[in-house]
Chain A
Amino acid sequence: MKFIYQDLLNFLSEQPSRRSLSKKLFQLGHEHEIIGDIFDMEITPNRGDCLSLIGLSRDLNYFYNNQDICEIYDEDIEVLDLNFKNLSVESCPKISFLEIEIEEKITSYKPYLENYFSKLGNNKTNFFTDISNYISYERGQPTHCFDRESIKKDLILIDRVFQDSFKTLLGTEIKLEDKNCVFMSDNEIISLAGVMGGESTSCSAKTKKVLVECAYFNPEAIIGKTVKYNLNSEAAHKFERGVDIESQEKILRRFISVVKDHAPIKSLRMKTFTYKDFDEKYLPIETQRINKILGTRLSKEEYTNFLEKLGFEINDEVKVPSYRHDISSQNDLSEEIARIIGYNNIKSIPLKLNTISKSGHSKISEIKDFLIKNGFSEVINFPFTASEEKESILIDNPLDSNRKNLRTSLKDSLIENLLFNERRQKDSIKLFEISDVYLNEEDIHQEKRLAIIVSGRRGHNHEDFSKKLDDIYLNEILNLNHNTSIFNIEEVNREDLKTKKKEKIYYIEILVEDIPKALYLDKHSKKDLVNFIKYQKVSEFPVSARDFSFSIKNLQQYNIVISHIEKFHDKNLKDFFIFDFYLNEKLGEIKVGVRLIFQSPLKTLSDEEIQKSIDRILKPIINLDGVFIPGLEFK
Chain B
Amino acid sequence: MSSMDNIEPPVIKKNIGTLHPINQTKDFLLELLSKIGFEEVHGPEIESEEYNFDMLNIKKSHPARQMHDTFYLENKRKVLRTHTSPVQIRSMLNSKPPFAFSSAGKVYRKDDDATHLPMFHQVEGIYVDKDVNFANLKDLINQILLNIFGENVETRFRPSYFPFTEPSAEVDILSEDGMWLEILGCGIVNPVVLENCNIDSSKYSGLALGLGIERIAMLKYGVNDIREFYKSNLDFLDQFK
Contact = CB atoms under 8 A, between A and B. Distances in A.
A339 B159 contact: yes
B225 to A, nearest CB: 9
Nearest to A461: B12
B131 to A, nearest CB: 7
A240 interface: yes
A378 B20 CA distance: 5
A343 B7 contact: no
B226 interface: no
Contacts of B20: 377-380
Say what secondary structure dominates the interface of chain B.
mixed
Interface in A383-409: 383-384, 393-399, 403, 406
B237 to A, nearest CB: 5
Contacts of B72: 395-397
Interface string B146-166: 000000000011111100001
A60 B123 CA distance: 35
B183 interface: no
Nearest to B163: A46
Interface in B1-44: 2-4, 7, 9-10, 12-20, 22-25, 27-28, 31, 33-40, 44
A35 interface: no
A357 B239 contact: no
Contacts of B15: 375, 459-461
A45 B65 CA distance: 13
Nearest to B119: A382
Contact of B167 (A338, A384, A565): A338
Contacts of A585: 2, 4
Interface residues of B, number: 104
Contacts of B74: 393-394, 396, 440, 444
A315 interface: no
A380 B234 contact: no
Nearest to A383: B119
Nearest to B188: A293
Interface in A329-356: 329, 331-332, 334-335, 338-339, 343-344, 346-356
B66 A227 contact: yes
Contacts of B28: 529-530
Interface in B218-241: 220-224, 228-240
A226 to B, nearest CB: 10
Given A293-B205, A535-B223, A338 B159 contact: yes
Contact of A372 (B16, B140, B167): B16
A29 B229 contact: no
Contacts of A581: 9-10
B122 interface: no
Nearest to A556: B3
A377 B234 CA distance: 8
A70 interface: no
A477 B25 CA distance: 28
Interface in A466-481: none
A621 to B, nearest CB: 14
B229 A353 contact: no
A29 B235 contact: no
Contacts of B239: 533, 535-536
A35 to B, nearest CB: 16
B63 A45 contact: yes
Contacts of A379: 20, 232, 237
A444 B161 CA distance: 32
A372 B2 CA distance: 41
Contact of B3 (A331, A343, A555): A555
B190 interface: yes
Given A223-B63, A399-B110, A562-B10, A424 B235 contact: yes
A13 interface: no
Nearest to B12: A461
Nearest to A537: B224
A357 B18 contact: no
A578 interface: yes
A347 B46 CA distance: 40
A421 B33 CA distance: 36
A601 to B, nearest CB: 11
Given A332-B166, A351-B140, A533-B239, A294 B135 contact: yes
Contacts of A375: 14-17
A542 interface: no
Contacts of B45: 436, 438, 446
A608 to B, nearest CB: 25
B129 A335 contact: no
B181 interface: no
B238 A26 contact: no
B235 A396 contact: no
A539 interface: yes
B67 A397 contact: yes
19 contacts: A26-B158, A44-B159, A223-B63, A329-B192, A346-B135, A348-B142, A351-B132, A355-B39, A359-B34, A377-B18, A378-B19, A379-B20, A393-B73, A431-B232, A444-B78, A464-B12, A535-B240, A555-B7, A581-B10
The 3 A-B pairs with the shortest beta carbon distances in the complex, nearest first, are A295-B135, A29-B159, A353-B37
Interface of B: 2-4, 7, 9-10, 12-20, 22-25, 27-28, 31, 33-40, 44-46, 60-63, 66-68, 71-78, 80, 98-100, 110, 112, 117-119, 127, 129, 131-140, 142-143, 156-161, 166-169, 188, 190-192, 205, 220-224, 228-240
